[in-house]
Amino acid sequence: MGRNWGNTFIVAGLFALLLGAVIISFGLGRYPIPLREVLGIALSKIYPLGQFWTDRTETVLLQIRFPRIILACLVGACLSATGAAYQGVFQNPMAAPDILGASAGAAFGAALAILNHGRSFTITVSAFFFSLLTVSLVYFFSRRIKGKSILGLILSGIVVGSLFSAATSLVKLVADPTDQLPAIIYWLMGSLAGVGNSDIRFAIIPMILGLAPLLLLRWRMNVLTMGDDESRAMGINVHRIRFLVIICSTLATAAGVAVSGMVGWVGLVIPHVARKIVGNNYLHLLPASILCGAIFLLLVDNVSRNLLAVEIPLGILTAFIGAPFFIYLITRRGEYS
């Protein structure tokens, strides 16, 4: 019991940390806005206040910085939560949100929309639906594979995923090299540059529809990690729970990837960080993963938008930070051997 209370305390601490990071992030940006004006603009939304900032400042804060900060948190939370959930239901520590082809499908959808001169909202919607379509295909095929259902899912994930990757390459081949091709490449590198409030409005519903049930299924995920036979022995309908987790995770991942592009490593690394902090019990692991993912992507996106005058794609930074960190984690004494 003591450990549980400790973990609850840690999760609360992470939440406070996230809040603090969000507040400080609002003061960061290439366009200098003093914290005083940030607070003023925030307060003026609930309390009439004399305007002591310029209109430009308010626009930059509300139209550029606000959506980016919120989406960085949301995308980080979604990718990390689905990574944690998949690692549980596939009983595999190397599982990541893209294991069932969600990212490969989204990439194809985005590339296709860019090829057809889609506007940025069309690109997001297309990425989202192709992501859902890909995972549905994977699930459909896996049901027809005899034998172990986990293996079937992962195998058809690999096959369908590489099929969509090839299709994306084909789109890149036929795309215009000075305009569409760089747009596709930037999308594949992942970035929150240019996201707006409309992206939040689009992504928030599927994200909540995905994350909330995952949080409610925490206890059952704990059981699933023990293996299919054990779970059945405990009276759990393994297929139904796994199906539910996959649906929810796919919704959350698809919405996240659709607005951010391909951001790797968050879904694989952050759940392991969370494991180090709160242990393997999903009761705390899932909330901790969500919070750590949000904090991590928020920090990385801060670097992405502040370090240079031009944006550094997010996917590059997450890999540069994520990969060495992951090596550090797995080479530390003992735990994965």
Partner 1 sequence: MNKNKHKLVLLAGITCLALALLTAAGCTGDPAGEPDGARETVTFTDSAGREVEIPAEISRVVPSGTMAQIVLFALAPDKLAGLSERWSPAAGEYLDEKYRELPVLGQFYGGKGNHNLEEIARVDPQLIIDVGEPKPSIAEDMDGISEKVDIPAVHISATMETMGDAYRTLGELLGMADEGAVLADYCDEVYRRTREISEEVGAEGKKRLLYCSGDNGLNVITAGSFHAEIVDLVGDNVAVVEEAAGKGTDNPVDLEQIALWDPEVIIFAPGSIYSTVAGEKSWRELTAVKEGRYYEVPAGPYNWMGFPPSVNRFMGMIWLSELLYPDLAGYDGYKEAARYYKLFYHCELAEGQYRELVARSLLKDQ
Q: Whole-angstrom Cα distance, residue 195 to residue 71? A: 8
CB of 177 to partner 1, least distance (A): 5
Q: Which of 261, 264, 271, 322 binds partner 1 (CB under 8 A)?
A: 261
Select 62 or 215, whichever has its Cβ closest to partner 1. Answer: 62
Q: Whole-angstrom Cα distance, residue 251 to residue 135? A: 10
Q: Whole-angstrom Cα distance, residue 40 to residue 61? A: 11
Q: Spell out, one character per residue from 306 to 325, where the chain touches partner 1: x when CB under 8 A holds, - when not.
A: xxxxxxxx------------
Helix (H, G, I), strand (E, B) or coil at 31: coil
Kindly write down the DSSP assignment for every residue of 43-98, as one continuous string: HHTTS-----S-HHHHHIIIIIIHHHHHHHHHHHHHHHHHHHHHHHHTT-TT--GG
User: Contact between 194 and partner 1 (CB under 8 A)?
Assistant: yes
Select 63 or 280, whichever has its Cβ closest to partner 1. Answer: 63
Tell me if 63 sits within 8 A of 196, measured CB to CB.
yes
Q: Which of residues 40-69 bind partner 1 (CB under 8 A)?
A: 54-56, 59-60, 63-65
Select 153 or 175, whichever has its Cβ closest to partner 1. Answer: 175
Residue indicated by tokens 């003023």: 40
Q: Which of residues 137-156 bind partner 1 (CB under 8 A)?
A: none
Helices (H), 143-237: 149-174, 180-189, 197-216, 218-224, 228-233
Select 196 or 213, whichever has its Cβ closest to partner 1. Answer: 196
CB of 214 to partner 1, least distance (A): 23
CB of 40 to partner 1, least distance (A): 17
Q: Which of 256, 293, 257 is nearest to 273 (CA)?
A: 293
- Residues with Cβ within 8 Å of residue 77, at least 6 apart in sequence: 207, 211, 290, 291, 293, 294
**DSSP letter (8 states) at residue 148:** -
Select 74 or 314, whichever has its Cβ closest to partner 1. Answer: 314
CB of 317 to partner 1, least distance (A): 12
Q: Choose the binding region for partner 1 from 139-147, 181-189, 211-219, 234-242 (rule: CB under 8 A).
A: 181-189
User: Contact between 166 and partner 1 (CB under 8 A)?
Assistant: no
Q: Which of 8, 44, 120, 136 binds partner 1 (CB under 8 A)?
A: 120
Residues forming contacts to partner 1 in the complex (CB under 8 A) are 2-3, 6-7, 10, 13-14, 17, 20-21, 24-25, 27-32, 54-56, 59-60, 63-65, 110, 113-114, 117-123, 173-179, 181-184, 186-187, 191, 193-194, 196, 261, 276-278, 295, 299, 302-303, 305-313
